[in-house]
Copies of this chain bind each other. A is one copy, B any other.
Amino acid sequence: MIVVMKPNASESEVESVIERLFAAGCDVHRSTGSARVTLGAVGVTAAMDLSDYEILPGVEHVVRVSTPYELVSRSYKPESTEIDLGSVVIGGDDVVVIAGPGLVESEELIHGAARAVAAAGAHILRGSAFTSRARPYAFRGHGEGSLEWLRAAADEHHLLVASEVMAPAHVELVARHADILIVGARNMQNSVLLTELGTVGKPVLLKRSPAATIEDWLLSAEYVAAAGNERIILCEQGIRTFESSTRYTMDLSAIPVLRQLSHLPVVADPSFGTGVRDKVAPMARAAVAAGADGLLIEVHQNADEALSDAAQSLYPEAFQQLMDQLRIIVPAVGRSI
């Protein structure tokens, strides 16, 4: 941490800042220039809040040198994390595709979806038993029974299972049936839930909240890691901007940015990010071309009739076509699929 003092800061103001830094356990290097004093603090911990120093008398601004997160940073662990799920490795050579309907609407639907996405080459079946909706009157899922249908459908087609957890009370239940636990954007900063997920033995797919900076997002991942679970997959799905022609604006440059800042794998969800069916394939191709480790794609046999997010679901034929396009693209980024 570097503390830049104001040009006119008094000696007692400088000393008072140094004392606070000592009290917090830091070593301090003082550099006196012609215009101002600059203090370099060594030993800053992630528990220190830098804005507490920014308001001290005589301080102009404070600069963080180290990141506020640790366990999820690439400087903590230089090699990329690979999450090995047996039949598939997330963060390895293969671009991993997670596909299926938003909600598990019925046993018949999920079996059909499993068949279709497996035929097109997807690796993991998605489907939620519970979900969060913006409107309180919308359908929010069938709950436990649908997890059993989901597991059976996936097993029959040699797929793994990814499903959403919405509350601490669901974690154990969903973890019993799913291979990956999805945390939706609305819960990205639900710290009670994140802490609970630290103790479950399954990987967590953490979606980015539309208001989260990359730093906020990594701090949420740090919550899970600090609670004991370092098998985390980051999922970019758009940020809120003034452009309203798509639901959110997908921030694909987050993919190469995260590659530098963190060792965790990064996937993208263009279905949620765009909210419009005919924008899903272009943004799915773009995410893979930008270097994503995988994709989440909503697929529904009768997409127009889907009970949730109909507008963003692909029909199986369109999904098949997308998979064919991705097979062309992946060698450009040194991957297979």
Chain A residues close to B by CB (< 8 Å): 2, 4, 7, 29, 31, 33-36, 38, 40, 42, 45-47, 49, 51-52, 54-56, 60, 63, 65-66, 68-69, 75, 132-138, 140, 166-169, 186-187, 189-192, 194-195, 209-214, 216, 219, 222-223, 226-227, 239-246, 249-257, 260, 273-279, 282-283, 285-291, 304, 306, 308, 310-311, 325-326, 328-329, 331-333
A166 contacts which of B29, B191, B276 (Cβ < 8 Å)?
B191
Which 3 A-B pairs rank lowest in CB-CB distance, beginning with the nearest? A211-B211, A186-B189, A289-B289
CA distance A219 to B138 in the complex (A): 11
Query: Nearest CB to that of A238 among chain B residues?
Result: B253
The distance from the CB of A262 to the nearest CB of chain B, in whole angstroms, is: 12
Q: Which residues of B contact A167 (CB under 8 A)?
A: 168, 192
| B36 with A31: CB separation less than 8 A | no
Query: Known contacts A249-B251, A325-B333; is A289 also within 8 Å of B288 by CB?
Result: yes
- 27 of the cross-chain contacts (CB-CB < 8 Å) are A2-B38, A7-B75, A52-B310, A54-B276, A63-B63, A134-B216, A136-B223, A166-B192, A167-B192, A169-B192, A186-B191, A187-B190, A211-B239, A211-B240, A239-B243, A239-B249, A240-B242, A243-B251, A244-B244, A246-B253, A252-B283, A253-B273, A253-B274, A256-B282, A282-B289, A286-B290, A289-B289
| Contact for A132 among B191, B214, B286, CB less than 8 A | B191
Q: How far is the CB of A37 from the nearest CB of chain B, in Å?
A: 11
Give complex CA distance A69, B138 in Å.
Answer: 12
Pair A137/B187 contact, Cβ less than 8 Å: no
